[in-house]
């Protein structure tokens, strides 16, 4: 939470009697102790991979299963690919912890809204989301009766015939929830326009990731074909 994404080697964790086996599980919060890197006078930076000395469970939800498992790994893959190492985002860390329980419920629409809210916050935290309450090119306020599109290369623009447009009220509500830092409010906004947000955010993420399909989504599609 305070140091950002880290690469850590857990030596001996796969041994049958290792105490780490029951702690190092996906989607769980842990308190960890890392070894201090050995640095000589010539070293300018610590090694990229640190060694784990100890870990304790710090709370978390039950293990995700079924579709919720893929949704959780979807979040993980986005974090791995979009966050630089050593770049802390405490707000995003907390939002991730709040999102996981929402994915575990039986209500698929609720889980999808939680995913969209997390994607919006992630893009905002890393500086890839424009102000949703303004037309990006002119910085004018959105008209109440208009529909707008969110494009990777142009930001918020009036929706064209082929765009997955979103009502102005929805975008303004999303911006207000982001500024307030309320994931609950952001999930409510996303739930009100779920198809539009899903299409829009998939396009945005594909643009910034440089790939149209995440590995997690491809695995899920392959399993569905089976």
Query: Looking at residue 25, what DSSP letter applies?
Result: -
Choice between 104 and 217, residue whose per-residue pLDDT is larger: 104
Cα 166–chain centre separation: 21
Interacting residues of 219 by C-beta distance below 8 A, sequence separation 6+ = 70
Q: Which range (68-72, 89-93, 166-170, 222-226) has the least confidence? A: 222-226
Question: Which of 144-181 are b and which e, b meaning 16 or more Cβ less than 10 Å from the residue's Cβ?
Answer: eeebbbbbeeebbbebeeebbbbbbebbbbbbebbeee
Which pLDDT value is given to residue 105? Answer: 80
Residues recorded for the chain? 226
pLDDT at residue 19 tops 80: yes
Q: Note every long-range contact of 222-226, with CB atoms under 8 Å and residues 24 or more positions apart, other chains counting.
A: none
33-40: average pLDDT: 74
pLDDT digits (tens, 9 = 90+) for 132-166: 999 999 999 998 889 999 999 999 999 988 777 89
Structural contact between residues 134 and 142, judged by C-beta atoms closer than 8 angstroms: yes
Q: How many angstroms separate the CA atoms of 201 and 220, rounded?
A: 19
Closest to 3 measured CA to CA, from 50, 44, 43, 40? 50
Which pLDDT value is given to residue 121? Answer: 98
pLDDT at residue 40 tops 70: no
215-222: average pLDDT: 83
Structural contact between residues 113 and 191, judged by C-beta atoms closer than 8 angstroms: yes
Which pLDDT value is given to residue 10? Answer: 93
Which pLDDT value is given to residue 44? Answer: 58
pLDDT at residue 216 tops 90: no
Strands (E), 79-175: 147-151, 155-158, 166-167
pLDDT at residue 171 tops 90: yes
Band of the pLDDT at 60, cuts 50, 70, 90? confident
Which pLDDT value is given to residue 6? Answer: 92
Share of the chain above pLDDT 70, in %: 95
Band of the pLDDT at 32, cuts 50, 70, 90? very high
* pLDDT averaged over every residue in the chain: 90
Which pLDDT value is given to residue 119? Answer: 97
Cα 163–chain centre separation: 24
**What pTM was estimated for this model as a whole?**
0.89
Helix (H), strand (E) at residue 53: strand 49-60
Q: How many angstroms separate the CA atoms of 196 and 206, rounded?
A: 16
Task: Give the sheet arrangement for strand 49-60, strand by strand.
Answer: 7-9, 49-60, 28-34
Which pLDDT value is given to residue 167? Answer: 95
């Amino acid at each position: 939470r305070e140091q950002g994404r880290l690469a850590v080697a857990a030596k001996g964790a796969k041994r049958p009697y290792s105490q780490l086996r029951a702690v190092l599980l996906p989607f769980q919060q842990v308190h960890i102790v890392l070894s201090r890197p050995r640095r000589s006078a010539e070293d300018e930076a610590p090694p990229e991979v640190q060694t784990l000395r100890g870990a304790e469970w710090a709370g978390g939800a039950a293990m995700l299963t079924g579709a919720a498992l893929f949704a959780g790994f979807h979040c993980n893959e986005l974090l791995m690919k979009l966050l630089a190492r050593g770049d802390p985002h405490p707000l995003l860390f907390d939002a991730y912890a709040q999102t996981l329980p929402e994915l575990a419920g039986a209500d698929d629409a609720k889980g999808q809204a939680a995913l969209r809210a997390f994607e919006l916050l992630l893009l905002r935290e890393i500086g890839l989301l424009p102000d949703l309450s303004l037309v990006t090119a002119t910085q004018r306020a959105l008209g109440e009766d208009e529909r707008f599109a969110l494009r990777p290369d142009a930001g918020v623009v009036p929706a064209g015939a082929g765009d997955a447009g979103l009502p102005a009220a929805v975008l303004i509500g999303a911006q207000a929830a982001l500024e307030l830092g309320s994931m609950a409010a952001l999930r409510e906004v996303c739930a009100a326009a779920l198809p539009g947000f899903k299409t829009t955010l998939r396009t945005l993420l594909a643009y910034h990731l440089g790939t149209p399909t995440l590995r997690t989504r491809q695995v899920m599609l392959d399993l569905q074909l089976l």
